[in-house]
């Protein structure tokens, strides 16, 4: 029977693990709390491979760009896009929370104040700057300082681009190393259901269902906001830039689902890059924009933080005029950036924002009991948001090159051709993304793929990378 279980797609395995974990945590709380080690072990394994994977991908993506000017252009577009989308989502969040009078009459006692005390460190911008420019790059690698690694990888990529042909041996080594890391990620993802089982069993055993009932309105508004982001804001952005949003969701949907149940966007980074390339996003763009988005484009998290601030203000009878709400938006726009790698980042930002605008930190304690429930949804939205960001920036680069009358670089040309082919035959390509490519998260079945060539980085082509994760699942 257990062999049949491992032959199911990873999403089905994870859903079974959710149900089993909830049952164990509810019926046997002591056992449920003990199973937390499974979730912690899985999360540690994911964090172990993220930095070694991100570094070569960013270096290769940048070193193959035609010029430093292009690197700066993509970085500038990405940051501008992140800021605009973040602001729109924050305005939606505070508008929803105000419309529902969220938090009015809510109890202001019973929160986990001790947990808040452990996290109440605030956001030190001096420390954030030092994280972005680490004095010891090996320490940045060891600590999983993703922002510092991104900065260092960008500099290395620019340097290799300047060396030209002399950099080919280094690029070849990084190509091989990246391929090996995709294999390792596949091995780790195979154990995702065990991690999900541990997380859910612990959460139900530790927090119970009582907190969910008492804060059902808060959870409901957060989920409503995230649904509006997925169903309204993202489709509008996609339509503006000509991104086939529904096809993209079919391509990455199971990975967003895996991020949902594991509450870790890092867990799906490797297969996500392969899926985006299959969808038609150039590797050089996705390997730069997506990791950068993990630090600067947490769409689901900022919505949660804005709703939470309004809830706390209403619960304690504080000012929620539009002037105060706009102040909240401005504070969160600043504080939400560059927080990747910070433990409990969303809660830390929420605490820092509360302190900045004069809200009592005890209010944050009220919400910790349901944080794991909203954390799942906001993580899934973060994955979709960063995928869309990569697709939008890529389309922008293609449009810009055509407008300037420039020939498309090889990877952008291939991406445009793949996208055009998919648009011409949506049933075939969308179905492939949603079925065969969906196995990239790991269902143990061999996948039939057409022969493909290497991309401009010389690294394994996307189908080969996805198959690398599949082969580990059986």
CATH number at residue 230: 1.10.3860.10
CA distance linking residue 262 with residue 198, whole number of Å: 10
Three-class SS state of 207: helix
What string of DSSP letters covers 263-305? T-SGGGHHHHHHHHHHHT--HHHHHHHHHHHHHH--HHHHHHH
In the structure encoding, which two tokens stand for residue 358, read together?
């004069």
When divided into structural domains, the chain yields a total of 1
What b/e sequence results for 408-443 when a residue is b if at least 16 CB atoms lie within 10 Å of its CB, and e otherwise?
bbebbebbbebbeebeeeeeebbebbbebbbbbbbb
In the structure encoding, which two tokens stand for residue 260, read together?
């949902």
Interhelix angle for 216-228 vs 68-99, to 10°?
A: 140
**How far, CA to CA in Å, does 386 sit from each of 325, 409, 429?**
26, 23, 21
Q: What is the pLDDT of residues 111-149, one digit of tens each?
A: 444 444 444 444 455 666 666 788 888 888 887 777 788
Q: Which residue has the tokens 């505070």?
A: 94
pLDDT of residue 351: 76
In the predicted model, residues of the chain with pLDDT beneath 70 are: 1-6, 8, 11, 66-68, 106-131, 209-214, 338-345, 406-474
What is the model's pTM?
0.69
pLDDT of residue 126: 64
- Nearest 5°: CA angle at 240, between 237 and 241? 90
pLDDT of residue 128: 60
What string of DSSP letters covers 29-60? HHHHHHTHHHHHHHHHHHHHHHHHHHHHHHHH
Contact of 440 with 274, CB cutoff 8 Å: yes
Contact of 368 with 115, CB cutoff 8 Å: yes
pLDDT of residue 211: 58
pLDDT of residue 459: 39
pLDDT of residue 104: 81
Contact of 222 with 304, CB cutoff 8 Å: yes
Q: Which domain holds residue 320?
A: 2-471
CA distance linking residue 138 with residue 411, whole number of Å: 31
Tell me the CB-side half-sphere exposure of residue 208, using CA atoms within 13 A. Answer: 4
CA distance linking residue 50 with residue 42, whole number of Å: 13
Contact of 385 with 338, CB cutoff 8 Å: no
CB neighbour list of residue 118: distance below 8 Å, 6 or more residues apart: none
Q: What is the pLDDT of residues 394-448, one digit of tens each?
A: 999 888 878 877 666 655 655 555 665 655 555 444 434 433 333 333 333 333 3
pLDDT of residue 289: 92
Contact of 311 with 102, CB cutoff 8 Å: yes
């Amino acid at each position: 029977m257990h062999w049949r279980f491992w032959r199911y797609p990873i999403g089905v395995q994870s859903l079974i693990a959710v149900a089993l974990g909830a049952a164990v945590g509810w019926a046997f709380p002591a056992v449920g709390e003990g199973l937390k080690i499974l979730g912690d072990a899985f999360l540690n394994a994911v964090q172990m491979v993220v930095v070694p994977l991100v570094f070569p991908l960013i270096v290769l993506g940048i070193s193959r760009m035609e010029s430093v000017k292009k690197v700066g252009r993509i970085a500038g577009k990405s940051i501008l896009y992140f800021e605009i989308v973040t602001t729109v989502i924050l305005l939606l969040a505070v508008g929803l929370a105000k419309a529902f009078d969220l938090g009015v009459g809510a109890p202001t006692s019973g929160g986990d104040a001790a947990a808040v005390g452990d996290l109440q460190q605030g956001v030190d911008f001096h420390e954030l700057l030092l994280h972005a420019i680490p004095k010891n790059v090996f320490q940045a690698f060891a600590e999983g300082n993703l922002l510092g690694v991104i900065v260092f990888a960008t500099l290395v990529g620019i340097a290799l681009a300047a060396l030209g042909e002399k950099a080919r041996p280094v690029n070849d080594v990084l190509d091989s190393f990246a391929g090996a890391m995709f294999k390792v990620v596949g091995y780790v993802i195979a154990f995702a259901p065990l991690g999900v089982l541990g997380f859910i069993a612990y959460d139900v055993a530790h927090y119970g269902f009582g907190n969910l009932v008492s804060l059902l309105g808060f959870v409901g508004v957060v989920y409503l906001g995230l649904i509006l982001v997925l169903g309204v804001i993202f489709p509008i952005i996609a339509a503006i830039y000509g991104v086939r949003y529904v096809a993209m969701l079919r391509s990455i949907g199971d990975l967003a689902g895996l991020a949902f149940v594991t509450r870790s966007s890092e867990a799906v980074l490797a297969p996500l890059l392969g899926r985006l390339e299959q969808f038609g996003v150039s590797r050089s763009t996705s390997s730069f924009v997506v990791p950068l988005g993990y630090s600067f484009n947490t769409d689901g998290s900022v919505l949660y933080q804005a709703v939470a601030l309004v809830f706390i203000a209403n619960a304690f009878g504080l000012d929620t005029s539009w002037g105060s709400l706009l102040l909240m938006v401005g504070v969160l726009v600043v504080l939400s950036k560059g927080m990747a790698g910070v433990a409990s980042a969303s809660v830390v930002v929420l605490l820092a924002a509360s302190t900045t605008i004069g809200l009592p930190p005890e209010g944050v304690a009220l919400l910790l009991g349901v944080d794991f429930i909203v954390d799942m949804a906001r993580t899934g939205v973060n994955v979709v948001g960063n995928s869309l960001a990569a697709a939008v920036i890529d389309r922008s680069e293609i449009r810009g090159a055509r407008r300037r009358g420039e020939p498309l670089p090889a990877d952008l040309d291939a991406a445009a051709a793949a996208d055009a082919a998919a648009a011409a035959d949506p049933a075939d390509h969308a179905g492939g993304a949603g079925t065969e490519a969906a196995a990239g998260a790991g269902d143990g079945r061999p996948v039939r793929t057409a022969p493909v060539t290497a991309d401009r980085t010389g690294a394994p082509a996307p189908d080969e990378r996805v198959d690398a994760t599949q082969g580990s699942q059986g």
